[in-house]
Structure 1
Amino acid sequence: MNHHRRLRHILIGVSFTALMAANAHATPFINEIHYDNSGADTGEFIEIAVESGFDLTGWSLSLYNGNGGGTYGSSVSLSGLSYGNAFNGYHFAAIDYPSNGIQNGAPDGIALISNTGTLHQFISYEGAFDGTSGAATGVSSADIGVRETSSTAIGHSLQLGDSGWQDPQASTKGAANTNQTQFTNGLTIGGQGDTGGGDGGGGEPAVEAAIYDIQGAGHKSAMEGQTVATSGIVTAVTSSGYYIQDPTGDGNGDTSDAVYVYTGSSNPPTVSVGDEVRIQGEVTEYARRSNELTLTEITNSQVIEVVSSGNSLPAALSLSAPTTHIDTDGLGSFNPATDGIDYYESVEGMRVVLDNAQAVDATNRYGELYAVNSATATGMNDRGGITLDEGDFNPEKIQIDDTALNGNSPQAQMGDSLGSVAGVMSYSYGNFELLATEAVTATDGGLAPEVSQIVAADDRLTVASYNVENLAAGDGRIAEFGQQIVNNLNSPDIIGLQEIQDNNGTGSGELSASQTYADLIQAIKDAGGPEYAVAALDPEAMNSTGGQGNGNIRNGFLYRVDRVDVKDVSFIDGYDTDTYIDPAGVEKGSFSSSRPPLVGTFMFNGQEVTIVNNHARSRGGSDPLFSANQPINTGKPEKRNAEMAFVNAFIKDMLDQMPGANVIALGDMNAFWFEEALALLAGQELFNLATLFAEEERYSTIFEGVSQALDHILVSGSLFGSALFDYVHLNSGFLSQLSDHDPLLASFRIARISEPGQMLLILMGLVALYRRRQSQLMA
């Protein structure tokens, strides 16, 4: 397990109160950063915000390498800095660095050090880590949660706003940032809100309170900010804290009887499981990001007394979360009986057990495993996963984490049985999680790659869609992709591919994917498959299509030369000028930083088949399902809607001119079958083949344990009547995956136009289309 992912808190060696008293001014903080951009890094800097009149003499900045946690380069003195424009009583001092002077992350950090040599602020980008040298020794960095990449525009930076750190935008070096009007809370919103260890609240008198009174019936404690004294049994210990639970509780199912006591990784707990302890500390609500729920904690804690040791632990509560709704009221009321988000809050920190546990995805690289109670879960698919549906977002799915087991998770796959899993309930990175306190054993559920029953025939055209996840020439996965295409997809006539990269992957100066396609074609032949050819276009500009920097992902087609001819391949006219209005009222390009839809016209049995290959805007930036924002944001749906509406307009125009045309829209739409984007794509012209499957079997990928359909094939009426369709599960749910998507496969009867049977199928499809349009007009 990558434990850096768990290091969330900051310890600061000088208290804010003392620093404020000594200087009579608000403390400085890191306000803006630039470290990476397109091409050679240029104009790197770190900006400090400081209240007017504050003297930075003797203060310094140190850069930290997340690989090992030590410093790199020389500390930079902040003495004698010149300040930029004043705003709301603050000035801005920028420290310039040479090209490549600030490392490009994954992760790296910056420490702001006071004139006494003590650590004042320690932030990081692209992950968190522990400092191992200098002023940040033993301190966990605070990940700011945003990053720059090698495709970040020159002249852009990461900036602190009123709501936290923001994605790259035009630099405001030496002045207030975009969306920034507040400054006195700069440390808090900048990722420095929790000061860790201490004396239990700065000497304030402690309020006696039972744990369940501290927790209360809600997502936040009514005692937040107060210094309390409480007691309980230690039920679990981690490297940076421990959980205590009242042994009897208050009998109220809406209030948790347990709480997390945070000590910090540099001050590991000295208590043991089974100790009855009396502690004192400050009630804190901790959240890593603004869109996440808070975890109620006792910070600045001290153990007043270990009353006794070796006590029996409170009985574990069997988890019985609601199975349909995560939230029904925008967090307006607290309803553990109906809302999953409220249910898990009601047992936060408590000992719980997941009975009949079954894995619904494979163990991930962080040692996390998603599971359900197989006896009570709803929406289960036939391979042992749990599928997202329009009215069911699977609140009963829970993340099992190995933090309390020192990274000892089993390597499980979808459908594996896990028995009963006991631990304590926590929340991290947007997920409620069960921190297992007892070893978890997986029993093989028999998951196996599927072989589709759909095969080509003289009168049947087979078409696949496959997102091959950043495939470039020389990729070690290519041989296996070739085997999948031949042995599991039965060598489709046409394959619509997404996420094909340049020949040199993420290297610079290349826009061609000719070798990437050639390698895949050769791999298919090596696997015993037929000869394929390419029908594709390269992007029109570097880093214009999103994805990994310099990878220039694009859509493309492979087609069997023994069965299919290509007539034309092109981008849809006008994609580069089409616009939409974002929620802020700003007009933007529909396909900016996204993939232009690629149109291929093919000939099969003397008939034209037009295929539009799509890869819509990603869902990046979406809130987690268990977010503080309810209902959740789904990552710029208005942009996906605009893209899909544009494609529909193209198809509608084609079908208006040729009502019987064979038209297919396929690809990674990054939208669920029930979302508006798919309705806009279908319009009155297309039928989604997902409707041929039961709702729980509609999935092509898994994200955080939830099976979901992001990839789709939609067809015109002339093809729908004869369609066969399959989600071919080769990657989702497996420990070993070639891609984070499964391929889709469909076939259609396309006999020569002179055959009466073909004419009948076309007529049936047109009748179906007519009936749909009539029903929509009458609705």
Structure 2
Amino acid sequence: MPSKSSARHAALTVAVVCSAASTLVLTAPAHADSVRIHDIQGTTRTSPYAGQQVSGVPGIVTGVRTYGSSKGFWFQDPNPDKNPATSEGVFVFTSSAPKVAVGDSVTVTGTVSEYVPGGTSSGNQSVTEITKPTVTTVSTGNEVPAPTVIDSRSVPSRYTPAGDSAANGSVNALTLRPARYALDYYESLEGMNVQVKNVRVTTATDPYAELWATVKPSENRSERGGSLYGSYDSQNTGRIQIQSLGATADFPVANVGDTLSGATTGPLDYNQFGGYTLVASELGTLKSGGLKRETTKKQARDELAVATYNVENLDPSDTTFAAHASAIVNNLRSPDVVSLEEIQDNNGAKDDGTVAADVTVNKLIDAIVAAGGPRYQWRSIDPVNDQDGGEPGGNIRQVFLFNPERVSFTDRAGGDATTAVGVTTVRGKARLTASPGRIDPANAAWANSRKPLAGEFVFHGRTVFVIANHLNSKGGDQGLTAQYQPPTRSSETQRHAQATLVNTFVKSILTAQKNADVIALGDMNDFEFSGTAKVLEDGGALWSAIKSLPKNERYTYDYQGNQQVLDQILISPEIRRDRAFSYDSVHINSEFHDQISDHDPQVLRFRP
């Protein structure tokens, strides 16, 4: 995957610049007098005054943003109309630090525009704004309009209407029904002063001083206090992003399950990274939920423990080696085989043709030994330079670690970055033509993406085939709050093609040996209920073992208030049917503000 911080920084730069690429002008320029904010906002997602000049629009300033490139202020009409579909607040984009204060009564003259955070190609909804403003202060020190309270009773359980098929699924022109749909409800409050009370944190504070919380504490609650994302058809309508309108240094450092006690109040914005966001001028008091990192149980003497762990762009310059080592030794209890994803080459993101990763891997192995773990051996295949996606220059790949005191690796020459591994039958047993080897690396399905790494391991005399995967990411998919409903998941096309190749390869092993032990694991970048999972499982070749857990424990990742499955360990029928196995999603990262990776590792234990 690309570097989270660099991608986010670049995207933030785009999100706060009001450019031609991200502003929709929906009508020819005109002039409108004597309009109120609710007239500008209208009853749909786009203003009936978009592109027009408006004069003397009155309101009270409710929030002032002086940082970044999106400088401006929110103001709200203290005399609302009686239509719940029309917002009474709007953002005024000033481009420089505004010369108003909260409580000022002002009139604004300017041009109404529809700004799309992230640009129109993102599919995001637009934010109604007044741009190029002339602001007149009428009086100061006025009482701010009372915040609208967002709670479990006010937010509908239905998420969104279906978009207009004649407009490619856009909901922009649909009349808002805030009593029926959650997205309509939030849109009807865009720009207004809102408030949430005693909300539970569902995504930990990130490096950008943001967190996600829910106003519906019982909605799809996980065992540790988050909100599970378990279906495309059943959204968590109570989740909302919270940022600070003031100094981020004072923003609460929260984990999942913590509570913002009391009132959190501020304007309701819409941004590129998650949609509707409460930009807080008043933050509730953080109350810890006491969440602790999990530790799995040690495998029995006759159990093989196989794990997958995305270490998030690990390269020799990182400071997280000791922490990752401690996690593998103490939280994962030193699995016999560990599939690592996102191991970068020896100089990380420097794009100079380096592809070897021995420095990176050996530094981790040494740290594991220092943490009291075994001296793992490792196998991998260096990619062709800049051909496997991820952070430019990083050359991420999958790597097998294995404990030679417990399990052996069957080395068979012939595997390289561009040669496809095959399956043969020798004395009635399946055998890889190369070990390690890559699955069909020249296939177009792997363009700019990681190629699966296959290898043979032997435990107590029985061969176990392990396939390490890192399928293409969800980058480019439309967000859950997109203007297009249901949102388009464009990344699935390539991921399904990749899953088909993995499934076909597993079937070739099972054709050669019906009772073969096969494990396909890694960062699948898709849910256990997804089309990708169905393709991987096609014909009964594999089964996602995370489905052996109770539903409220099925998650490996936490994104925008939703706990979800991205990392999976899929097993062949022989492992599932004939031998007892146990599965554990070990929650050490995704729920915590001080995570060393954004993924939780997974561990499978079974008796070959």
TM over 0.5: yes
Partner of 2:13: 128
Deviations 1:312-337 (A, max 9, x none): 53343334323452443444433323
CA 406–467 in structure 1, closer or farther in 2 if over 3 Å, else same? closer
Corresponding residue for 2:101?
A: 272
| Closer, same or farther: CA 640–591 of 1 in aligned 2, 3 Å | same
- State the SS of the aligned residue for 1:482: helix
What amino acid does structure 1 have at the position aligned with 2:512? Q
* Matched residue, 2:550: 694
1:244 paired residue number: 75
Structure 1 equivalent of residue 265 of structure 2? 422
Question: The residue matched to 2:465 in structure 1 has which SS?
Answer: strand
CA contact (8 A) 1:501 1:554 kept: yes
Of 383, 392, 395, which aligns to 2:234? 392
What is the rounded CA distance, in whole Å, between the counterparts of 1:246 and 1:264 in structure 2? 22
Structure 1 residue 409, shift from structure 2 partner? 1.6
Tell me if the contact between 2:23 and 2:114 (Cα under 8 Å) persists in the aligned partners: no
- Cα deviation per residue 1:168-191 (whole Å; 9 max; x = unaligned)? xxxxxxxxxxxxxxxxxxx723x6
Aligned to 1:594: 449
Task: Give the aligned partner of residue 90 of structure 2.
Answer: 259
Query: Displacement, 1:629?
Result: 2.6
Instruction: Tell me the distance in 2 between the aligned counterparts of 1:501 and 1:406.
Output: 32
CA distance in 1, matches of 2:491, 2:155: 30
Q: Displacement of 1:142 after TM fit?
A: 3.5
Structure 1 residue 732 displacement after superposition: 0.8
Q: 2:155 corresponds to which letter in structure 1?
A: A
Alignment of 1:529-544 (within 5 A): 529-539=373-383, 541-544=384-387
Find the partner of 1:464 among 282, 286, 307: 307
Aligned partners of 2:60, 2:12: CA distance in 1, in Å? 33
What TM-score do the two structures reach when normalised by structure 1? 0.67
Please name the residue that 1:509 is paired with: 353
Contact map agreement 2:160 2:485 (CA 8 A) in 1: no
Question: In 2, are the aligned partners of 1:533 and 1:559 still within 8 Å (CA)?
Answer: yes
Q: How does 1:182-197 map to 2 (within 5 A)?
A: 188-189=20-21
CA distance in 1, matches of 2:342, 2:441: 23
Could you tell me how far apart the structure 2 residues matched to 1:656 and 1:424 are?
60
Q: Secondary structure at the match of 2:159?
A: coil
Match in the other structure for 1:747: 605
Give the deviation of 1:725 after TM superposition. Answer: 0.4
Q: Report the residue type matching 1:529 in the other structure.
A: G
Alignment of 1:700-711 (within 5 A): 700-711=556-567
Q: Are 1:282 and 1:301, in contact at CA under 8 Å, matched by a contact in 2?
A: yes
Give, in angstroms, the shift of residue 429 of structure 1: 1.3
Q: Compared with structure 1, are the counterparts of its residues 459 and 623 closer, same or farther at alpha carbon in structure 2 (3 Å cutoff)? A: same
Larger radius of gyration: 1
Partner residue, 1:302: 134
Q: 1:725 aligns with which of 583, 587, 593?
A: 583
Q: Using the alignment, how far apart are the partners of 2:324 and 2:373 within structure 1?
A: 12
Report if the CA contact (8 A) 1:506-1:550 is conserved.
yes
RMSD of aligned alpha carbons: 2.6
CA distance in 2, matches of 1:746, 1:141: 44
Quote the residue 1:499 is aligned against. Answer: 342
Q: Gaps spanning 5+ residues in structure 1: where?
A: 1-103, 108-124, 130-139, 144-186, 195-200, 580-588, 751-779
* Counterpart in the other structure of 1:679: 534
Equivalent residues of 1:389, 1:696 under 8 A apart = no
The farther-off stretch of 330-339 and 444-453 is: 330-339
Q: Is the 8 A contact 1:323 1:378 kept in 2?
A: no
- From the superposition, tell whether residues 687 and 576 of structure 1 become closer, same or farther in structure 2 (CA, over 3 Å): closer
Q: Deviations over 1:78-126 (max 9, x none)?
A: xxxxxxxxxxxxxxxxxxxxxxxxxx9998xxxxxxxxxxxxxxxxx76
Moved over 6 A (4+): 104-107
C-alpha displacement of 1:742: 0.9
Conservation of the 8 A alpha-carbon contact between 1:276 and 1:307: yes
Q: Could you say which residue in structure 2 is the equivalent of 1:325?
A: 159
Equivalents in 2 of 1:604, 1:205: separation in Å? 78
Distance 1:628 1:192 in 2: 14
**Given residue 48 of structure 2, which amino acid in structure 1 is its aligned partner?**
A
The alpha carbon displacement at 1:623 in A equals 1.9
CA distance in 2, matches of 1:260, 1:407: 24
Are the aligned partners of 1:504 and 1:510 in contact in 2 as well (CA < 8 Å)? yes
- 8 Å CA contact retained: 1:451, 1:487: yes
Aligned to 2:166: none
CA–CA separation in structure 2 for the residues paired with 1:572 and 1:450: 37
Q: CA-to-partner distance for each residue in 1:227-276, whole Å, 9 max, x for gaps?
A: 223212222222222222222312222211222222222xx323322233
1:562-605 alpha-carbon deviations (Å, 9 max, x no partner): 111111465644844665xxxxxxxxx11111111111111111
Cα deviation for residue 488 of structure 1 reads 0.6
1:271-420 to 2 correspondences below 5 Å:
271-288=100-117, 289-290=119-120, 291-307=123-139, 309-319=141-151, 320-323=154-157, 325-329=159-163, 330-332=169-171, 333=174, 334-375=176-217, 377-390=218-231, 391-404=233-246, 408-419=250-261, 420=263
- Distance in 1 between residues matched to 2:24 and 2:246, nearest whole Å: 25
Query: Matched residue of 2:312: which SS?
Result: strand
Q: Which has the higher contact order (CA 8 A, sep 6+)?
A: 2
Q: Decide which of 486, 511, 515 is 1:656's aligned counterpart.
A: 511
Q: 2: CA distance between counterparts of 1:305 and 1:142?
A: 26
Cα deviation, residue 559, structure 1: 0.9
Say whether the 8 Å CA contact 1:505–1:550 is kept in structure 2. yes
Change (3 A) 1:500 1:438: same
TM-score (norm 2): 0.85
1:481 maps to: 324
- Return 5+ residue gaps in structure 2 as ranges: 1-5, 164-168, 423-437
* Matching residue's letter, 1:555: Q
Question: 1:318–1:126: structure 2 CA closer, same or farther, 3 Å change rule?
Answer: closer
* Count of residues in Structure 1 that have an aligned counterpart in Structure 2: 555
Q: Return the offset for 1:216.
A: 1.4
Counterpart of 1:734 in structure 2 is 592
Summarize the Cα distance change of 1:474–1:225 in structure 2 as closer, same or farther, 3 Å threshold.
closer
Give the distance between the partners of 1:677 and 1:563, measured in 2 at CA.
33
Deviation at 1:520?
1.6
Report Cα offsets for 1:643-673 as digits up to 9, x if no partner: 1100100111211221111111100011111
Q: 2:181, 2:375 → 1: CA distance?
A: 54
> Which residue identity lines up with residue 510 of structure 2 in the other structure?
L
Look up the SS of the partner of 2:64 in the other structure: strand
Amino acid at match of 2:238: E
Report sequence identity in percent. Answer: 36
- Once the 2 structures are TM-superposed, how far is the Cα of residue 205 of structure 1 from its aligned partner? 5.1
Residue 370 of structure 1 contacts residue 398 of structure 1 at CA under 8 Å; is this kept in 2?
A: yes
- CA 1:491 to 1:308, structure 2 compared with 1: closer, same or farther past 3 Å? closer
Match of 1:442, SS state, is: strand
What SS is found at the alignment partner of 1:387? coil
In the alignment, what sits opposite 2:426?
none
Equivalence for 1:563: 406
Q: Equivalent residue of 1:128, what SS?
A: helix
2:371 maps to what in 1?
Answer: 527
Per-residue CA deviation, residues 264-289 of structure 1 (Å, 9 max, x unaligned), is: 22xx3233222332332222211131
For 1:303, what is the secondary structure of its paired residue?
strand
SS in 1 for 2:363: helix
SS at match of 2:199: strand
Code of the residue aligned with 2:51 in structure 1: it is: G
Tell me how far apart the structure 2 counterparts of residues 381 and 328 of structure 1 sit (CA, whole Å). 28
Correspondence for 1:220 among 19, 40, 46 = 46
Return the offset for 1:436. Answer: 0.7
CA distance in 2, matches of 1:640, 1:386: 26
Distance (Å, rounded) in 2 between the aligned partners of 1:126 and 1:405? 21
1:20 alignment partner in structure 2? none
Counterparts of residues 580-659 of structure 1 (less than 5 Å):
589-659=444-514
Quick one: distance in 2 between partners of 1:406 and 1:613? 40
Q: Is the 8 A contact 1:460 1:747 kept in 2?
A: yes
Task: Show CA shifts across 1:674-727 (max 9, x none).
Answer: 111111111121111121123332211122332211100010111114120011
